[in-house]
Structure 1
Amino acid sequence: MRIERYPVLTAADRDLVRRLGVGLGDREARVLAYLLRREAADEFGQEPATLLAVRIGTELGRSAAKAALSSLVEAGLVTETTAETDGQGRPPSAWRVDADTKTILAQVYATHARALLDRATEFTADESAPDHDADEVDGPHQTRSITVSLNWQPNGLQAPLYAAREAGAYSERNLSVTFAPRTGSGAALRDVVAGDSLLGIVGSTTLLRAVADEQPVVPLALLYQRALAVLYTTRAAFGEPFERVAQLRGRRLGMPVDSEIGLLGRFYLRQAGVADDVTVIDLQGEERTALLADTVDAVTGSLSDPARVRTGDATVDTIRLGDRFPIYGPAVVAREEALAAARSVLADFLAGTMVGVARARADPAVAASAVDGDESAARARQTFEDAIETGWTSDAVAAHGWGWHQAEDWERLRGVLAQVDLLTE
């Protein structure tokens, strides 16, 4: 009798799986992590892994393991070979990686960045964007300076971006990145349209309204898969627990009407069929003040806002829009022309950002401390962790990795906004 031994992934490998998963589907990340760990093990590193070994090591079924291996081979991340056997007949297929973990991670992120840019090209229905651009020819090793307009002041929601910069992920790719805080998605979008910034962080409804207005902008990646807008109030102001949007009938709801948050709030009211029964009060950055002054009964806000009014024994009730409607969250946005004119810069920025995404997921506290703003590190961390819970995961992320978006989903959202008369006003 011969006894076979197989290495398996353990809890100690979770961080590697997660880092790989930023640029891969969950199954592919598990398989690639297993092959990397196996390659580094003295006892098994000289032998490629058979399908049986991969299945045992990753706890994946036969079809899932085969599909993941096929995808990894196609991406050039894994090499297919054959295993040595003592028996007669055709040797079984086997797989291995030919590079170290650092190299593979960089390759994963670069490959995923190109795939995201292909998504953007699909969004524009323009198949003419080239694979390479002028800056690759003129000077690929020169530092390229770019500006990214943020949709608000520095806060925990932007932790992946700041974490990437602090980790040197942009500079390693010859990018010098400046973050320019703006007051809302509309302001960030205007910077991009005007050419003042190469990139912007822009809410999905603001983006689609701009596209409907024939502005030449495209989404490159979703920073968050779900909208991070909320409706909230204090128990003292509302007089009862706030659990359903129908409770807003006959009440006053404060919001910045034309902002991304305001658009999402109005969308929520119209989808719920209560818009005609709610008095909307237009507020510009004064929502919390109005709520505490009892001039409104509830307000719209971002995910981190309710915590700012929770003082002493005050009870704050929150309804998260993303829990009820699958609306895309804030996206990394560029001008259409950048897909051709600055394609390698965009790809390098996305790949560098993935380093920050992985870093933020692995250690939210470290990522939050990198945020360059007035928000405390503790609050920034809590904001980011709340955002992960609310808007980070989706079936698309599980299948493809961070930032994934699909033209059909954008078209569906465009149709819903048009249906409630919010696409054009």
Structure 2
Amino acid sequence: MPHSRRAFVATLGGVALSGCLGQFGESAGPGEEGDLESASLLLNFQPGGLHAHYYAALERGYYEAEGIDLEAIESGQGSDFSAQQVALGNTEFAITSGDQVLNVNSQDGLDLRCVSVVMQQGPTVVFTARDAFGEELTDASQLEGVTVGSGPGMVRTMTESFLDHHGVLESVEYVDSGFDTVQQLLAGEIDAAGGVFSDVIDAEHQDATIDVLPVNEVIPSYGHVVGVGESYLEENPETVRAFIRATARGAAWAHQNPEEAIDVLVDHEPELGEVRENQLDKWIAMSTEYMLSEAVSEHGWGWNEPEPWEATHETLEAGDFLESEVDPDAIWTNEYIDEESEYVGDYATVVSE
């Protein structure tokens, strides 16, 4: 593979077999009895709290129970990179973002499908530090004439669209704050920031009072999604269904056991021990606020709806983000979401118990 691989293979011998979510249960996996289908998962970024459920599913044997030998959970280099790699067939599964699924499908020769939506609403937010801003941020009109900073790419595109929707884009000074947005905000170098909800948690862990305006309320979109290359999808449909079932089960267990889930994550990624509470807060925010939706309650974990794809496509097209025409309704599918599975179809009920 053309990128570095960090493999973390779980030792399953000591996995407890008691408890509802702890039991392997019956497998509807892709292989014959005793056979495992090898696969790897490429994350969108370096492992952290937002990825806790994959490690939980691996450690607790849920992938194995579904007939999958998940050989590696690989550290990522961005959603654009993971989307390209899975479209090229260099990994079986990848965590990417809705905008990058659209972007990759606009490139010649690359076909990628979203088979499951992990983050049911977009993570982009506009936020301020109350002490530096001078007042609580409750309305976008308060941003008129201020300096707004963010990194490049989709966050900037979504933030600018949000500001434009509220009629304040032309009045702000928009600067590229790179990957140092939070620190520039807290230092008073910028008045407001465009970022994602995990940036807010980073700022709050530095004892700042942060006020937030969610961009998703204006521009519906999806955050993390599971991407699979078209050819792999056609050749391995049952493995894809099995992967979604196991991942949903891992998410349910991690939702109900957040402290233990972060312990599993830190066991695999010891350097995260120094920021354990930060990663815990990120997982709790993601699992309680971003993984659930009306679609999940009605259909199951990972369900796609057309509206967020269409809204994201419209935003990207307006920003000249796409290389060529792409049909937003052709890049996702719910075909591999097993609504009959307890941890998929009844996910919302399971995690509420």
Q: Is the 8 A contact 1:306 1:316 kept in 2?
A: yes
SS in 2 for 1:351: helix
Q: Percent same amino acid at aligned positions?
A: 24
Q: Report the AA paired with residue 292 of structure 2.
A: T
SS in 2 for 1:307: helix
Residue 423 and residue 403 in structure 1: after superposition, are their counterparts in 2 closer, same or farther (change >3 A)?
A: same
Pick the structure with more helix per residue.
1
Once the two structures are superposed, the pairs formed by residues 191-206 of structure 1 within 5 Å of their partners are 191-206=85-100
Q: Report the AA paired with residue 61 of structure 2.
A: G
**In the alignment, does 2:297 pair up with 1:398?**
yes
Q: CA deviation at 1:255?
A: 1.4
Q: Is the 8 A contact 1:221 1:331 kept in 2?
A: yes
Q: CA deviation at 1:367?
A: 1.5
Q: 1:232 aligns with which of 121, 124, 127?
A: 127
Q: CA deviation at 1:226?
A: 0.8
Q: Is the 8 A contact 2:185 2:191 kept in 1?
A: yes
Supply the distance in 1 between the matched residues of 2:179 and 2:119 (Cα, whole angstroms).
23
SS in 1 for 2:62: coil
SS in 1 for 2:94: strand
SS in 1 for 2:162: helix
Q: CA deviation at 1:161?
A: 1.0
**In the alignment, does 2:25 pair up with 1:102?**
yes
Residue 187 and residue 270 in structure 1: after superposition, are their counterparts in 2 closer, same or farther (change >3 A)?
A: farther
Supply the distance in 1 between the matched residues of 2:257 and 2:207 (Cα, whole angstroms).
30
**In the alignment, does 2:68 pair up with 1:145?**
no
Once the two structures are superposed, the pairs formed by residues 242-253 of structure 1 within 5 Å of their partners are 242-253=137-148
Q: Is the 8 A contact 2:221 2:309 kept in 1?
A: no
Q: Is the 8 A contact 2:128 2:185 kept in 1?
A: yes
Q: 2:152 aligns with which of 257, 260, 281?
A: 257
Supply the distance in 2 between the matched residues of 1:162 and 1:197 (Cα, whole angstroms).
17
TM-score of the two chains, using structure 1 as the length reference:
0.63
Q: Is the 8 A contact 1:228 1:387 kept in 2?
A: no
Once the two structures are superposed, the pairs formed by residues 94-243 of structure 1 within 5 Å of their partners are 102-103=25-26, 106=27, 141-172=34-65, 173-214=67-108, 215-243=110-138
Unaligned runs of 5+ in 2: 1-18, 324-353
Show the counterpart of 1:273. 167
Once the two structures are superposed, the pairs formed by residues 13-52 of structure 1 within 5 Å of their partners are none
Q: 2:235 aligns with which of 331, 341, 347?
A: 341
TM-score of the two chains, using structure 2 as the length reference:
0.74
Could you report, residue by residue, the CA deviation over 1:302-350 in whole angstroms, capped at 9, with x for unpaired residues? 2222232236763222222334543222100011111112323322222
Q: Is the 8 A contact 2:43 2:75 kept in 1?
A: yes
- Decide which structure has the larger Cα Rg and report it: 1
Tell me how many residue pairs correspond in the alignment: 297
Residue 159 and residue 194 in structure 1: after superposition, are their counterparts in 2 closer, same or farther (change >3 A)?
A: same
Show the counterpart of 1:424. 322
Q: CA deviation at 1:391?
A: 1.4
Q: CA deviation at 1:228?
A: 1.8
Could you report, residue by residue, the CA deviation over 1:84-107 in whole angstroms, capped at 9, with x for unpaired residues? xxxxxxxxxxxxxxxx9933xx55
Unaligned runs of 5+ in 1: 1-14, 20-99, 111-134
Q: CA deviation at 1:422?
A: 5.2
**In the alignment, does 2:332 pair up with 1:409?**
no
Q: CA deviation at 1:398?
A: 0.9
Q: Report the AA paired with residue 317 of structure 1.
A: D
Show the counterpart of 1:321. 215
Q: Report the AA paired with residue 385 of structure 1.
A: I
Task: Report the aligned-residue RMSD.
Answer: 2.9
